Amino acid sequence: MTKIFLADDHPMVQTALESLLRRRGEEIVGCATSGADALEEIASSDADVIILDVQMPGGSGIDVLSGMRKRGDNRPAMLLTAAISDETISKALALGVSGMVLKSTDPKMLIDAIDVVSKGGTWIDKALRDRVAAASSKAASPRRVLTDRQRELVSLVQQGLKNREIAERLKTTEGTVKAYLHAIFDKVGVENRTELAMKADQIIGQSGESDS
């Protein structure tokens, strides 16, 4: 059972989501209808996953996510929205968002997204993936040549594996994995694991082309 904090300013949407999630066996541990209330209540919540509407009074979902990260709260957060701009996508990526889900998405997909995110993975709706790749590549270096080991590590990050699990898979130490990751971040122009996972296919593909 995943503990979820839900922030959405539309009562009908929030009620429908609460009902859906509870029927699927998830636990709602907190709700808010404004950005300010969400940021305050999340601080004392034991939620595993935070779901944030992008547009809310008193602060957007991005504002809430930014506030969480500034105080060191790195719990998985998902953005739920009817529409999202490229600028907002870029900001969300920089803040380490774990998921972006459109409100028009099949409800079953939302459940799948929560399951993936709660396990350390990332979920981006298909309709947003190309825009996410374009937004996340703006700051990337055009010369992104990775070694075979680095490409393997990127693939493992994409699968949602933690540093300890990657270290076991590669038969090395967590410290070495961290060093590899930071080198990859610098080489491909990303800020964190979330960005790396979201653009993994693009990075691996382009790096592979560079080697050929």
- Token couple for 137: 């590549």
Q: 81 has which bridge partners?
A: 102
pLDDT band at 143 (very low <50, low <70, confident <90, very high): very low
Q: Helix, strand, or coil here: 139?
A: coil
Whose tokens are 């949602």? That residue is 160
User: Residue 74: which CATH number?
Assistant: 3.40.50.2300
Same domain, 164 and 60: no
Same domain, 7 and 79: yes
pLDDT tens-digit map of 39-58:
999 999 999 999 999 999 99
Which residues span the domain enclosing 163?
148-211
pLDDT band at 61 (very low <50, low <70, confident <90, very high): very high
> Could you give the percent of the chain with pLDDT greater than 90?
30
Q: Over 60: is that where the pLDDT of 2 sits?
A: yes
Whether 170 is covered by a domain: the verdict is yes
CB 41 within 8 A of CB 15: no
Total of domains in the chain: 2
Same domain, 126 and 25: yes
Q: Over 60: is that where the pLDDT of 153 sits?
A: yes
Query: Around Cβ 69, how many Cβ atoms within 10 Å?
Result: 17
Domain end among 136, 162, 185 = 136
User: What is the structure's pLDDT at 160?
Assistant: 86
pLDDT tens-digit map of 107-125:
888 888 998 888 888 888 8
Same domain, 85 and 159: no
Strand 3-7 to strand 49-53: parallel, antiparallel, or no bridges (unpaired)? parallel
Same domain, 188 and 106: no
Same domain, 124 and 168: no
Average pLDDT over residues 119-137: 77
Same domain, 182 and 86: no
User: Residue 166: which CATH number?
Assistant: 1.10.10.10
CA 183-170-174 angle, 5° bins? 60
Task: Output DSSP code: residue 57.
Answer: T
What's the rounded Cα separation, in Å, for the pair 116 and 98? 9
Rounded to the nearest 10°, the torsion over CA 93, 122, 28, 23 is 140
